[in-house]
């Protein structure tokens, strides 16, 4: 399969969509990013790499980082994790409060904000120095020691964090946050602020495409059935209330973030990352969704 030619063709065909949508602006620092950036990178398990556009420019991962937080929480908690959150698609916005209230402080899944705030609580509780431990794990996944938090973006999010603070308070009220709310949110915003390029993100997702291989990165170990489950959750919950649409159009497990990135993978074959900051009303990258739809159409490869 000539993946480079296919990616080049995808890049050409998404051109008309590049002005559609709008950057996230509820995190003021994200509104300052050039919205016309666009990159694609793909990495296969047999070591090939393909890319186009702004594939080496770093961007804010935002919710994509929740995949790494879930991996670490699964390592620390095993199946106990599922006493504190569900594994069902939410069918609601990523920052919905209503569902959390109706469901008594048990988030529907780990990828909505409420779920990821509980993941953050778990990491803060277990790890003596969660910020250091977490970034080391992410660096080892991406095989890149310079990956880091963007403290300015985390601070910018914190200053406007009315909704996430409300979510954290509701979780705390129901006993589903054990630590101090400010401490847990501080860690959560830092996790969201991690920056990578598409090139780095495709590397960081590759381990999740590899069920057969033992997952052991910087001491974080997962069984192949954990990796399988992570893929299942990405497939059913990775795009919030657009998870069905992404499955329908693309047919790969993946995860989006309001920085405009999407990472997806084809189990046993490759991981791919796309970045374009303009979002649709559900908070997913317009170009990112289309690019991956075209990729699985042109390659005729998907999990379905």
Provide the token pair at 82.
Answer: 């599922």
- Give bridge partners of residue 50 from the DSSP assignment: 42
Nearer CB in complex with ligand GLN: 39/257: 257
- Give bridge partners of residue 285 from the DSSP assignment: 279
What's the CA gap between 8 and 30, in Å, rounded? 27
Q: How far is the CB of 15 from ligand GLN (least distance, A)?
A: 25
Q: Which of 52, 164, 247, 285 binds ligand GLN (CB under 6 A)?
A: 164
Q: Are 257 and 60 in contact (CB under 8 A)?
A: yes
Provide the token pair at 7.
Answer: 């990616």
Q: Enumerate residues 139-158 that contact ligand GLN by CB under 6 A.
A: 157
**Is 258 one of the binding residues for ligand GLN (CB under 6 A)?**
yes
Q: Enumerate residues 102-131 that contact ligand GLN by CB under 6 A.
A: 113
Q: Which of 35, 53, 260, 283 binds ligand GLN (CB under 6 A)?
A: 283
Nearer CB in complex with ligand GLN: 177/192: 192
Q: Enumerate residues 88-107 that contact ligand GLN by CB under 6 A.
A: 94-95
**Is 160 one of the binding residues for ligand GLN (CB under 6 A)?**
no
Q: How far is the CB of 104 from ligand GLN (least distance, A)?
A: 21
What's the CA gap between 187 and 118, in Å, rounded? 11
Query: Where do runs of H (alpha helix) occur along the chain?
Result: 3-13, 66-77, 98-102, 113-126, 130-142, 151-159, 162-173, 181-193, 198-205, 224-237, 243-249, 286-299
Nearer CB in complex with ligand GLN: 45/100: 100
Q: How far is the CB of 219 from ligand GLN (least distance, A)?
A: 26
**Is 257 one of the binding residues for ligand GLN (CB under 6 A)?**
yes
**Is 192 one of the binding residues for ligand GLN (CB under 6 A)?**
yes
Q: How far is the CB of 251 from ligand GLN (least distance, A)?
A: 21
Q: On the CB side of 255, how many CA atoms lie within 13 Å of its CA?
A: 26
Nearer CB in complex with ligand GLN: 35/283: 283
Residue number with the smallest Cβ distance to ligand GLN:
63
Q: Are 278 and 259 in contact (CB under 8 A)?
A: no
Q: CB count, 10 Å around CB of 5?
A: 11
Q: Which residue from 148, 26, 21, 123 is spatially nearest to 66, judged by alpha carbons?
A: 123
What's the CA gap between 77 and 56, in Å, rounded? 35
Q: CB count, 10 Å around CB of 56?
A: 12
Q: Enumerate residues 17-56 that contact ligand GLN by CB under 6 A.
A: none
Site string for ligand GLN, 200-239 (x = CB under 6 A): ----------------------------------------
Nearer CB in complex with ligand GLN: 117/209: 117
- Residues of this chain that interact with ligand GLN (CB under 6 A) are 62-63, 94-95, 113, 157, 164, 192, 257-258, 283
């Amino acid at each position: 399969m000539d993946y480079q030619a296919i990616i080049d063709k995808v890049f050409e065909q998404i051109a008309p969509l590049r002005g559609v949508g709008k950057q996230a602006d509820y995190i003021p620092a994200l509104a300052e990013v050039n919205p016309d950036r666009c990159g694609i990178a793909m990495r296969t398990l047999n070591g090939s790499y393909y890319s186009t556009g702004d594939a080496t420019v770093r961007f804010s991962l935002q919710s994509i980082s929740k995949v790494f937080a879930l991996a670490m929480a699964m390592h620390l908690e095993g199946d106990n994790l599922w006493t504190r959150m569900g594994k069902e698609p939410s069918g609601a916005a990523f920052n919905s409060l209503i569902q959390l209230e109706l469901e008594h402080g048990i988030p529907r899944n780990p990828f909505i904000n409420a779920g990821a705030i509980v993941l953050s609580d778990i990491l803060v509780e277990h790890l003596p120095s969660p910020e250091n431990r977490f970034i080391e794990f992410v660096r080892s996944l991406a095989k890149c020691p310079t990956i880091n938090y963007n403290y300015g973006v985390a601070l910018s999010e914190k200053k406007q964090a009315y909704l996430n603070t409300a979510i954290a308070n509701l979780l705390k009220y129901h006993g589903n946050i054990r630590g101090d709310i400010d401490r847990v949110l501080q860690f959560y915003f830092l996790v969201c602020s991690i920056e990578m390029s598409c090139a780095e993100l495709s590397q960081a997702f590759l381990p999740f495409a590899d069920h057969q291989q033992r997952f052991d990165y910087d001491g974080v170990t997962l069984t192949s059935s954990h990796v399988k489950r992570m893929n299942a959750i990405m497939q059913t919950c990775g795009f919030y209330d657009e998870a069905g649409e992404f499955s329908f159009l693309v047919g790969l497990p993946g995860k989006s973030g309001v920085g405009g990135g999407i990472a997806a993978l084809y189990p046993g074959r490759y991981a791919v990352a796309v970045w374009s900051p303009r979002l649709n009303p559900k908070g997913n990258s317009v170009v990112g969704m289309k690019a991956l739809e075209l990729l699985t159409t042109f390659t005729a490869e998907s999990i379905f």
